């Protein structure tokens, strides 16, 4: 596609429910990143995929968080048993290869609200 696409754009869920967030990267981009942005704060790294493997998942805050990627395509971030502190904007980015000099392209994000 023309850009990184994320869905849904907004999600309101009850505490304790599971949610699944989706990211469609730019076609041909091998690297994919998930970040979290809490209100008024910076971007917090969650996980990085190169192809369908995840060489760096050091940012996942707990075992309630998991992510998968199919080949060099769609990724899903799953949050189980959501808590109020999970409320944030979840951002996905992709790049042609691993970062360094390569630009990362971001999606519009999914705003998650846990009530």
Binding residues (CB under 8 A) for another protein: these are 3-4, 31, 33, 35, 41-43, 45, 48, 50, 56, 59, 91, 93, 97-101, 103-109
Least Å from the CB of residue 109 to another protein: 7
Give whichever of 25 and 107 is closer to another protein, judged by the CB atom. Answer: 107
Bridge pairing between strands 53-56 and 5-7: unpaired
Residue 20 vs 105, nearer CB to another protein: 105
Closest Cα to residue 91, out of 52, 50, 46, 40?
Answer: 46
Environment class of 93 (CB within 10 Å of its CB; exposed 0-12, middle 13-18, buried 19+): buried
């Amino acid at each position: 596609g023309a850009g990184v696409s994320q869905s849904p754009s907004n999600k309101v869920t009850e505490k304790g429910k599971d949610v699944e967030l989706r990211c469609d990267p730019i076609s041909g981009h091998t690297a994919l990143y998930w970040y979290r942005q809490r209100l008024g704060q910076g971007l917090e790294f969650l996980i990085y995929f190169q192809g369908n493997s995840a060489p760096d998942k050091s940012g996942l805050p707990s075992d309630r968080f998991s992510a998968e990627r199919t080949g060099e395509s769609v990724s899903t971030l799953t949050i189980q048993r959501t808590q109020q502190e999970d409320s944030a904007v979840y951002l996905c980015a992709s790049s042609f290869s691993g970062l360094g000099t390569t630009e990362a392209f971001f999606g519009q994000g999914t705003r998650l609200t846990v009530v």
